[in-house]
Amino acid sequence: MKMEVNLSDTIAAISTPVGVGGLSVIRVSGAEAIRIVKKVLPTWRVVVPDDKPRYPIARFVRVLDLDDVVVTLFCAPHSFTGEDTVEISCHGSWFIQHELMHRLTDAGCRLARAGEFTQRAFLNGKMDLSQAEAVADLIASHSEAEKNLALRQMRGGLSSQLSRLREQLVHFASLLELELDFADHEDLEFVDRSELLSLASTIDKHIEQLLSSFAAGNAIKNGVAVAIVGEPNAGKSTLLNALLGEERAIVSAIEGTTRDTVEDSLYLSGIHFRLIDTAGIRNTDDPLEKMGVERSERAVMNAHIVVEVVDATRPRYLSLSLRNEQRYIRVLNKSDLLSAEQVAALSVRQTTGSESKPLSQVLVSAKQGEIDALRDELVDIGQRMTASSDVALSNVRHYEALQRASQALERVKSGLHEGLSGEFVSLDLQDCLTCLGEVTGEITSQEVLQSIFSKFCIGK
Ligand SMILES: Nc1nc2c(ncn2[C@@H]2O[C@H](COP(=O)(O)OP(=O)(O)O)[C@@H](O)[C@H]2O)c(=O)[nH]1
Ligand SMILES: [Mg+2]
């Protein structure tokens, strides 16, 4: 379906969730919003001052045959969409919400499509595309960290970084243009190429910084993936249940009980962890168990944090090969079965290991719920992983566009190195600017816009 952008319609939608609630909010936006709502609610006697106020005007309105509502008017351009917008807070009855919607559409409103209010905000220049996307992220956020990330982006954190980059690139382009304008003048090079090169490197460094923040942004948005692995019967499923505080995975003394990976979310100190309990890793001929082991190995590959559970009464360790950025916690489980001497002998240290592969070791009893040491360790690692004082990329679309921007800049740099003519270098520079423009929405196709806004909720 092609999404036609028609800003002249006045649109309406129920903005609160489907179903019955205490209250419900109906939103109307467009040039005719005030006229239409006055027609539907004749008792709404609002006088709009000529110079449209920046603040919303709220009025209690008795709709004689229907409900008592509160009508709030946001005058253009001081509204979310940039248009005249009216919000009607009615009681949350299904009948009242739908009756009001019927009356609004009869009076000339069209039903809003998913994301259409935000799309209008974007088209009316109230926000750029990265901010509009953050609105959807904010609505979908589950943890404090995720909310903060989306909020910063919605308030223009990423946009201001990108506009700084853009300024630098435009400055760069203008220097190149100068060089081109004077190209006829024999070997006159207006701009020192080494100066251009160092400017390109500075810009590249900024883009690289943004690109590298994607790991943190991704961990915040999609959760920090924690794979719980170990030999059969080490207590992995018991540990998962203890962390979640519920009997999520089946626990038994029979080896190989967990065949498939079991996944659930855990929220600790505002961070979203995705815990993945796996089948025990061991050599086996059983085809079904083999598949489980393969899945465990895949979970390890994709994890941010790998938790290896070891039965402390007979410690044996897996040989895991982890990537540098992966974090590894070794959990010595079943501490309740150890004597004081045995505990001392284990000489558990809080943190050991080398810089390249940090290793934390904690002693717990999953069965007795004594797992605070592990919880603390997860929070500690999770906080460091998701700490982004400033802006972090969390959107694949942005990440890919910036990757292309970085590649274009690499071409600019090599062009300068090789002494290519300014014209060619300038083309690559334009490419780079185009990629940045895709993130902010200055250069974005209808199809991309359609796919972005169609994922929004109705009424937003
Ligand atoms: N004593 C004791 N037993 C435990 C502990 N954690 C797990 N178990 C027992 O170890 C057996 C295997 O547990 P399970 O969680 O299914 O291990 P998995 O195969 O690693 O998932 C079960 O009988 C559990 O009750 C613990 O901390 N202390
Ligand atoms: Mg298990």
Q: Is the pLDDT of residue 181 over 80?
A: no
Q: Is the pLDDT of residue 437 over 80?
A: yes
Least confident of 326-330, 359-363, 445-449: 445-449
**Are 24 and 54 members of one domain?**
yes
The more confident residue out of 290 and 93 is 93
**Are 378 and 275 members of one domain?**
yes
The CATH number assigned to the domain holding 427 equals 1.20.120.430
Residue 228 is predicted with a pLDDT of 95
**Are 108 and 93 members of one domain?**
yes
Task: For residue 353, name the pLDDT band (cuts at 50, 70, 90).
Answer: very low
Question: Pairing state of beta strands 11-14 and 23-29?
Answer: antiparallel
CA of 292 to the centre of ligand 1 (A): 18
CA of 252 to the centre of ligand 2 (A): 8
Residue 1 is predicted with a pLDDT of 43
Q: Is residue 160, in this structure, part of any structural domain at all?
A: yes
**Are 289 and 320 members of one domain?**
yes
Mean pLDDT in residue range 215-227 = 90
Q: Is residue 3, in this structure, part of any structural domain at all?
A: no
The most confident of the ranges 74-83, 324-333, 347-356 is 74-83
The CATH number assigned to the domain holding 90 equals 3.30.1360.120
Residue 21 is predicted with a pLDDT of 87
Q: Is the pLDDT of residue 348 over 80?
A: no
Residue 68 is predicted with a pLDDT of 95
Q: Is residue 460, in this structure, part of any structural domain at all?
A: no
**Are 325 and 342 members of one domain?**
yes
The more confident residue out of 261 and 335 is 335
Least confident of 67-71, 76-80, 341-345: 341-345
Q: How far is it, in rounded angstroms, from Cα 81 to Cα 263?
A: 39
Task: For residue 171, name the pLDDT band (cuts at 50, 70, 90).
Answer: confident
Mean pLDDT in residue range 262-285 = 89
**Are 167 and 231 members of one domain?**
no
Task: For residue 36, name the pLDDT band (cuts at 50, 70, 90).
Answer: very high
Mean pLDDT in residue range 212-240 = 91
Torsion of CA 357, 358, 364, 367, to 10 degrees: -50
Residue 227 is predicted with a pLDDT of 95
CA of 231 to the centre of ligand 1 (A): 11
> What percent of the chain is predicted at pLDDT more than 90?
52
Q: Is residue 450, in this structure, part of any structural domain at all?
A: no
User: Probe ligand 1: pick from 367, 370, 371, 374, max atoms within 8 Å of CB?
Assistant: 367
> What percent of the chain is predicted at pLDDT more than 70?
93
Q: Is the pLDDT of residue 352 over 50?
A: no
**Are 256 and 360 members of one domain?**
yes
Mean pLDDT in residue range 328-333 = 94
Asked which of 371, 386, 401 is the last residue of a domain, the reply is 386
**Are 405 and 299 members of one domain?**
no
Q: Is residue 4, in this structure, part of any structural domain at all?
A: no
Q: Is residue 22, in this structure, part of any structural domain at all?
A: yes
Decide if 353 contacts 272 (C-beta within 8 A): no
The more confident residue out of 178 and 430 is 430
Q: Is the pLDDT of residue 154 over 70?
A: yes
Residue 277 is predicted with a pLDDT of 92
The CATH number assigned to the domain holding 342 equals 3.40.50.300
Q: Is residue 446, in this structure, part of any structural domain at all?
A: no
Q: Is residue 163, in this structure, part of any structural domain at all?
A: yes
**Are 230 and 360 members of one domain?**
yes
pTM of the model: 0.79
**Are 300 and 406 members of one domain?**
no
Tokens for 46? 């609002």
Sheet containing 57-63: order of strands: 57-63, 67-74, 85-91, 23-29, 11-14, 110-111
Residue 75 is predicted with a pLDDT of 96
Residue 92 is predicted with a pLDDT of 93
**CB under 8 Å, gap of 24 or more: what pairs does 369-376 form?**
369/242, 370/335, 370/336, 371/239, 371/242, 371/243, 374/239, 374/243, 374/307, 374/329, 374/331, 375/243, 375/268
Q: How far is it, in rounded angstroms, from Cα 216 to Cα 384?
A: 9
Residue 172 is predicted with a pLDDT of 84
The most confident of the ranges 31-35, 182-186, 383-387, 431-435 is 31-35
- How many domains, the chain? 3
**Are 312 and 242 members of one domain?**
yes
Average pLDDT across the chain, whole number: 88
Q: Domain limits at 144?
A: 136-213+393-441
- How many other CB atoms sit within 10 Å of the CB of residue 130? 26
The most confident of the ranges 173-187, 368-382, 406-420 is 368-382
First and final C-alpha spacing in the chain: 20
Q: Is the pLDDT of residue 149 over 80?
A: yes
Q: Is the pLDDT of residue 349 over 50?
A: no
Asked which of 354, 386, 418 is the last residue of a domain, the reply is 386
Asked which of 85, 100, 126 is the last residue of a domain, the reply is 126
The more confident residue out of 261 and 89 is 89
Task: For residue 357, name the pLDDT band (cuts at 50, 70, 90).
Answer: low
Polymer length of the chain: 460
Residue 2 is predicted with a pLDDT of 47
Decide if 172 contacts 196 (C-beta within 8 A): yes
Residue 354 is predicted with a pLDDT of 44
Residue 260 is predicted with a pLDDT of 79
**Are 78 and 170 members of one domain?**
no
Q: Is the pLDDT of residue 402 over 60?
A: yes
Binding-site residues, ligand 1, Cβ < 6 A: 230, 232-238, 251-253, 257-258, 280, 309, 333-334, 336-337, 365-367
User: Probe ligand 1: pick from 228, 231, 236, 238, max atoms within 8 Å of CB?
Assistant: 238
Q: Is the pLDDT of residue 62 over 90?
A: yes
Residue 350 is predicted with a pLDDT of 44
CA of 366 to the centre of ligand 2 (A): 12
Q: Is the pLDDT of residue 45 over 60?
A: yes
CA of 347 to the centre of ligand 2 (A): 27
